[in-house]
Structure 1
Amino acid sequence: MNPTPSWQGELWLASDYGLLAGTAGTTQPHAHYAHQFLIAQRGEVQALIGGQLQCAPVLVIESGVEHAILAPEQPTLTLFAEPLAFELQAVHQCCIEAGASMERLAKRIDDLPRRTLDARLAKALHRVRALEDETLPAEVLAREAALSISQLERLFTGSLGVSVRRLVLWHRLRRALALALAGSTLTAAAMAAGFSDSAHLSRSVRKQFGVRADLTLRHLRLRVLG
């Protein structure tokens, strides 16, 4: 299946979730760290989730589950929510209650209580979310959380089912996409977020989201939420 360049609309980015409202395009099969919720703005949205074809007004895609969006040009509200921050069922309920309103859903997500984390994990996560440097080696993250690298890895994978590397990559992608949508070239955005070049960033975007960065980003408008 070839991806189409038809993703377009408005992207709102908060520290632990993102909302995309507009026209959905098809994607190649992919998997990413965030929970994803697809909300049809009319009719039903269609996706292949874990190898099963699903059609419904609201579809839930858990973190790490391979999926592909199949309905081209379907008006859709998409929510990406960090598993570290949110309980899946609580976010799902918000999606049902808010319907296809971007403003109502953002308000409900803002009001949701965040998960209580181990203090060391919370400190590490705060450092990752504040990612500004070009790189964030695991050694630095472990030191700032007062842990050894092995302790940090066990804390992430044992408690959360996600590796340090995968979480850092997610936030580097978030930073790169925000910079690109704000007007930076793909090359400048890639370098600022720690990717070796624009091709490295593009490969990561394709793997995480199943779309081409150069075709997709030009059609999106960015709003960074406080």
Structure 2
Amino acid sequence: MSTEWSGRLWLGRDYGLIHGELGRTAPHAHYAHQLLFAPGGPVTVSLDGRVITAHRLFIPSRQPHAILDAEGDVWVLYAEPIVFAAEPLQALLANDELSLATLQHLPRRRLDDPRLERALTTLDHHLSGKVSAQALAEAAHLSLSQLERLFTHQLGMPVRRLVLWRRLRVAVQLALAGNTLTEAAHGAGFADSAHFSRTMKQLFGVTAGASLRQLDVQCLT
């Protein structure tokens, strides 16, 4: 099994859906919940040290894992925990298939805390340059320690890690839109393409080139 991924990618603001052949990955953990449907042949995954072979599998946010083997085309969903709760995603394992139509009917949750909304909006506006945690705290009318607690308790990640995740999301979108890896890296606030690739390997277990080069992408509004 190679490290190359191929197939189609539907990319929304809060999820990505892939249908195609998966590549092998190094051990990694990312912020998104992940759902795998393998109707043709099973997928073998190392999940937090355990090797599991299954046709359907849910991997929760920040769970260490690696894809070891896959047979035929697989459906893979990456869903933002801020928007999608784990329970409705796990319930999809009882379905016969995974599709865009299925995702459109999934319940989405909203942030109830306006302070968090202000901080995230400010973060997104500054991703192409330096993101200051102090500036996010001031936008949310919080102290720096209060902001860190808010991110950790409500989003499950400290500020710095969420900034890195959102940078990566922007860089992937830019690369899939036809930009070079260097252009995508700079547009998302990474120092260079090497920094982008290292982050991609850390969070998804693959390099940007191996995972993005052969995907036919459709960006969804």
Q: Do they fold alike, i.e. is TM over 0.5? A: yes
Structure 1 residue 127 displacement after superposition: 3.8
Q: Hey, which bits of structure 1, 4+ residues long, moved more than 6 A? A: none
Distance 2:84 2:56 in 1: 18
- Which residue of the other structure, out of 100, 104, 109, is the alignment partner of 2:101? 104
Distance 1:98 1:137 in 2: 45
| 3-state SS of paired residue (1:70) | strand
Structure 1 residue 187 displacement after superposition: 0.6
Q: In the TM superposition, what are the counterparts of 1:106-145 in structure 2 within 5 Å? A: 106-109=103-106, 112-129=107-124, 133-145=128-140
Structure 1 residue 108 displacement after superposition: 2.7
Q: CA RMSD in A?
A: 2.0
Assess if the C-alpha contact under 8 Å between 2:128 and 2:186 holds in 1: no
Distance 1:32 1:182 in 2: 22
Match of 1:163 in 2: 158
The answer on 1:222 being equivalent to 2:217 is yes
Match of 1:180 in 2: 175
Distance 2:80 2:136 in 1: 19
Structure 1 residue 150 displacement after superposition: 1.4
Match of 2:36 in 1: 38
- Which residue of the other structure, out of 73, 76, 79, is the alignment partner of 2:74? 76
Render the CA deviation track for 1:28-77: whole Å, top value 9, x for unaligned: 11011111111113232221111111122211111111100111454111
| 3-state SS of paired residue (1:190) | helix
* Equivalent AA in structure 2 for residue 105 of structure 1: T
| 3-state SS of paired residue (2:53) | strand
Structure 1 residue 95 displacement after superposition: 4.9
Task: State the TM-score, normalized to the length of structure 2.
Answer: 0.91
Q: In the TM superposition, what are the counterparts of 1:182-201 in structure 2 within 5 Å? A: 182-201=177-196
| 3-state SS of paired residue (1:106) | helix
Shift in alpha-carbon separation, 1:44–1:129, aligned structure 2, 3 A:
farther
Shift in alpha-carbon separation, 1:213–1:52, aligned structure 2, 3 A:
same
Task: State the TM-score, normalized to the length of structure 1.
Answer: 0.89
- Structure 1 spans left out of the alignment, 5+ residues: none
The answer on 1:146 being equivalent to 2:177 is no
| 3-state SS of paired residue (2:69) | coil
Provide the identity percentage.
Answer: 45
Structure 1 residue 209 displacement after superposition: 0.5
| 3-state SS of paired residue (1:89) | helix
Q: In the TM superposition, what are the counterparts of 1:37-56 in structure 2 within 5 Å? A: 37-56=35-54
